[in-house]
Structure formats: structure tokens, C-alpha cells
């Protein structure tokens, strides 16, 4: 919690001290998308006795959610469809 | 004659003068409520306490980073340092927002800045900049921010309370909600070729660090930094050509 507080406040104080270069700003723009993408990749795998396997249910739901997201550009709908898809895959299995 | 002028006065008031902090904050509040509820719901599913949910929403108050923390906590032993770096990287864009907003705050006192900047979000920033008067008024601008801030906190709690009523989240597929939500956010970020390339690069780097090199949770930071360099590199190259 202390760490998160610091990370939130430190940019505020530093930002007034130095001028950010334009290319650094441009690099920063790509941080949210790459962090979020990197975070979800392991979610589609499961580990059993040291080996990684693709979790098919998750993968299918992820692809469906991705397509709906691209189509509708609606975050809530994407979440909802992904969840419903996984629930129905589990129900059918 | 008199009645008519009164009517036109009222119409003018409704169309022009009635832009209050609430009018500006309303669309943001409507957008925040469901996201904050989702956050509260997911916090419950990660077996975290209600105080953790509230603390993350009030102290950190940064959508993407809050969800990222849940994602990090969901997977096994993760060090405080890794949480710190991840959150710091995601929140670095607040740098840019604050920096860009500073020209509007020339007349503000130190205290007015100190209460405004810690709760500045992307949405507040965007909406405030649409109104030339409110954005320069320290009290009005603060009201817009505090309204959206309270909405975020209150709906986090509502979501948390709602989640405790659901018996088994696995049946409902709710264990996938976090990933699905990330996918939804990622797609909103992808609007140009550079972003799509960054997205693919992040997947490839992550697969490499996580599965080939077994870097564990530290892979997230490595992959994110490198993928951002790829996006940045492509952008530079396209601009120069």
C-alpha cells in the first residue's frame, strides 16, 4: 500500500522538476496496452506438475471476447460476453 | 411579452449557463459506476478484504493500475517491488496529464493544487478541458473531481457487497471477468497500427519470458518495457518515412 501511494504521488512532484522529452512521452503511451496484454497472457495457461497447458475454455472465451470487443468497442459488453461464454462452455462440458 | 422573455431566459439558462460541475461530472460518474462495481466484485473474488478494496479505490484511485494489482495478486508469490514497478509504469501517464494541466492552474494556491492533482484522472482531464471556465476555477474543477472520486469509492463498496451474495463465481464464469475486462480495455487502446504491433509484441515477449525463460511475474515488466519500445520504434520509423 505504501508502494502504491508513493508511485501515485512521486510523479506529481517529479513532473514539476524536469521537462519530459517528447520521445519519452511517446514511449509512455504504449505502457498501458503492453502491461495489460502481458498480464493476461499467463491467464490462458494452466500449470500441472511443472508443465504448461493451454486452458481451452479460457482461450475460446478470450477470442470471443476479443472479437466482440473489436466489433462493438464496448468494455462492459466485452467483459460480459467473455464471462457468459466461459459459463456456457463449462455448462456444456 | 413578459412571459415570452421569461421563457427565453429560462431557455438560455438551460442551454448555456447551467453548466455546473455536476453536469460535467455526470457522464464520468455514469461510466465509473459499473467499472468500480466490477472492481469491488473482483476484489471479493480474489479473497481480499473490504478494506483492501476501499483502500485501493481511495488511495490508488487509478482504474487500470487497480485491476493490474488484482491481476498480479491473483498469481502466486509476487514481491512488493514488482507491484510497485508495474503500478508506477501504468500511472506514469498521470505525469503527462498533470503536466499538460499545469497551464490552467497558474492562479491556484498550493493547497488547491495539492487537493486537485492527486485525484486527476484521464476522464476528468478530458472533460475539464472541454470547459474553458471550469477548468481554470480551482473550486469548480475540484468539485468535478471529487464527485467522480466519491462515485468510484461508493460503487466499489456496492460491487463488493453484491459479490458476497453470489454463491460460486466459477459457475457464472466470473473468474474470467478480470481477463475479459482487460481485453475490453486493450481494444479501446488499439486505434492505430503501432498499438496493434505493441499488442502482438507484448504477447510474444510475454510468452518468451514467462514460458521460455521462466522469469515468472517479472516477465510482465520486461515484456511491457520491451513491447513499448517496439511501438515507439514503429511510430518513429513511420514518422520519419
pLDDT of residue B167: 62
A77 pLDDT higher than 60: yes
Residues of chain B contacting residue A62, judged by C-beta atoms under 8 Å apart? 179-180, 183
A38: Cβ contacts below 8 Å, ≥ 6 apart = B202, B205, B206, B219, B220, B223, B224, B227
pLDDT of residue B52: 83
* CA B54 – CA B158 distance, rounded (Å): 11
pLDDT of residue B107: 83
* CA A64 – CA B216 distance, rounded (Å): 27
Distances (CA, A) of A74 to B54, B66, B148, B187: 26, 20, 20, 9
Of all residues in chain B, what percent carry a pLDDT higher than 70?
80
B34: Cβ contacts below 8 Å, ≥ 6 apart = A76, B155
A29 touches chain B (CB under 8 A): yes
* CA A75 – CA B178 distance, rounded (Å): 11
Contact B96 A25 (CB under 8 A): yes
B154 pLDDT higher than 90: yes
The 3-state DSSP composition of chain A as helix, strand, coil percent (nearest 5) reads 75, 10, 15
The 3-state DSSP composition of chain B as helix, strand, coil percent (nearest 5) reads 80, 0, 20
Q: How far is B155 from chain A (nearest CA, A)?
A: 15
Select the residue from A38, A61, A71, A91 to test the B interface by mutation, using most B Cβ atoms within 10 A. Answer: A38
Residues of chain A contacting residue B172, judged by C-beta atoms under 8 Å apart? 83, 87
* CA A49 – CA B214 distance, rounded (Å): 15
pLDDT of residue A63: 92
Distances (CA, A) of B234 to B21, B195, B204, B239: 40, 10, 16, 9
Contact A79 B181 (CB under 8 A): yes
CA nearest neighbour of B158 among B44, B28, B25: B44
A39 pLDDT higher than 60: yes
Residue B143: pLDDT band with limits 50, 70, 90: very high
pLDDT of residue A44: 87
How large is the angle between the packed helices B218-240 and A22-29, nearest 10 degrees?
Answer: 120
The arithmetic mean of pLDDT across residues B223-240, rounded, is 86
Contact B206 A15 (CB under 8 A): no
A18 pLDDT higher than 60: no
Decide: B146 and B119 in contact? Cβ < 8 Å. Answer: yes
Cβ-based contacts under 8 A for chains A and B: 230
Check residues A6 and A67 and name the one with the higher pLDDT. Answer: A67
Residues of chain A contacting residue B229, judged by C-beta atoms under 8 Å apart? 27
The arithmetic mean of pLDDT across residues B125-143, rounded, is 83
pTM (two decimals):
0.63
B103 pLDDT higher than 90: no
Decide: B155 and B40 in contact? Cβ < 8 Å. Answer: yes
pLDDT of residue B5: 57
Set of cell numbers at residue B71: 491481476
Contact B182 A41 (CB under 8 A): no
The arithmetic mean of pLDDT across residues B75-90, rounded, is 74
Half-sphere exposure of A37 (CA within 13 A, CB side): 31
Nearest CA in chain B to A45: B211
pLDDT of residue B156: 92
pLDDT of residue B7: 55
* CA B179 – CA A58 distance, rounded (Å): 9
Residues of chain B contacting residue A77, judged by C-beta atoms under 8 Å apart? 184
Contact A39 B69 (CB under 8 A): no
Residues of chain A contacting residue B118, judged by C-beta atoms under 8 Å apart? 8-9, 12
pLDDT of residue B228: 87
Check residues A82 and B90 and name the one with the higher pLDDT. Answer: A82
pLDDT of residue B1: 43
* CA B73 – CA B178 distance, rounded (Å): 12
Of B84, B87, B199, the CB nearest to A37: B199
Q: How far is A92 from chain B (nearest CA, A)?
A: 12
A76 touches chain B (CB under 8 A): yes
Tally Cβ neighbours within 10 Å of residue B135. 19
pLDDT of residue A82: 87
Nearest CA in chain B to A23: B232
B111-116 long-range contacts, Cβ below 8 Å, gap at least 24? B112/B138, B112/B142, B115/B142, B116/B141, B116/B142, B116/B145
Set of cell numbers at residue B36: 468500480
Lowest mean pLDDT among A11-20, B132-141, B154-163, B205-214: A11-20
pLDDT, tens digit, for every residue of B167-178?
Answer: 665 666 667 777
Contact B184 A52 (CB under 8 A): no
Amino acid at each position: 500500500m505504501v508502494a502504491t501511494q508513493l508511485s501515485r504521488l512521486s510523479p506529481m512532484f517529479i513532473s514539476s522538476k524536469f521537462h519530459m522529452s517528447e520521445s519519452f512521452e511517446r514511449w509512455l503511451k504504449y505502457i498501458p496496452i503492453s502491461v495489460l496484454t502481458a498480464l493476461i497472457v499467463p491467464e490462458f495457461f494452466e500449470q500441472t506438475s511443472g508443465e504448461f497447458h493451454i486452458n481451452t475454455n479460457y482461450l475460446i472465451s478470450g477470442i470471443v471476447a476479443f472479437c466482440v470487443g473489436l466489433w462493438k468497442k464496448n468494455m462492459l459488453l466485452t467483459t460480459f460476453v467473455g464471462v457468459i461464454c466461459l459459463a456456457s462452455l463449462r455448462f456444456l462440458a | 411579452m413578459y412571459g415570452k422573455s421569461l421563457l427565453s431566459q429560462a431557455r438560455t439558462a438551460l442551454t448555456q449557463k447551467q453548466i455546473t460541475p455536476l453536469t460535467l461530472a455526470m457522464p464520468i460518474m455514469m461510466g465509473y459506476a459499473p467499472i468500480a462495481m466490477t472492481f469491488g466484485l473482483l476484489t471479493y473474488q480474489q479473497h481480499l478484504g473490504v478494506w483492501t478494496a476501499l483502500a485501493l479505490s481511495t488511495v490508488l484511485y487509478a482504474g487500470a493500475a487497480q485491476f493490474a494489482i488484482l491481476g498480479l495478486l491473483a498469481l502466486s508469490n509476487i514481491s512488493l517491488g514488482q507491484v510497485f514497478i508495474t503500478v508506477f509504469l501504468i500511472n506514469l501517464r498521470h505525469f503527462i496529464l498533470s503536466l499538460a494541466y499545469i497551464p490552467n492552474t497558474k492562479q491556484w494556491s498550493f493547497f488547491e493544487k495539492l487537493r486537485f492533482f492527486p485525484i486527476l484522472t484521464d476522464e476528468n482531464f478530458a472533460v475539464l478541458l472541454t470547459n474553458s471556465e471550469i477548468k481554470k476555477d480551482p473550486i469548480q474543477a475540484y468539485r468535478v473531481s471529487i464527485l467522480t472520486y466519491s462515485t468510484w469509492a461508493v460503487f466499489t463498496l456496492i460491487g463488493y457487497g453484491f459479490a458476497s451474495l453470489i454463491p460460486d463465481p466459477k459457475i457464472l464464469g466470473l473468474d474470467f471477468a478480470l481477463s475479459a475486462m482487460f481485453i475490453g480495455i486493450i481494444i479501446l487502446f488499439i486505434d492505430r497500427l503501432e498499438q496493434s504491433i505493441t499488442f502482438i509484441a507484448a504477447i510474444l515477449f510475454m510468452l518468451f519470458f514467462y514460458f521460455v525463460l521462466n522469469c515468472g511475474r517479472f516477465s510482465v515488466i520486461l515484456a511491457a518495457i520491451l513491447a513499448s519500445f517496439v511501438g515507439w520504434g514503429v511510430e518513429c520509423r513511420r514518422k520519419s518515412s
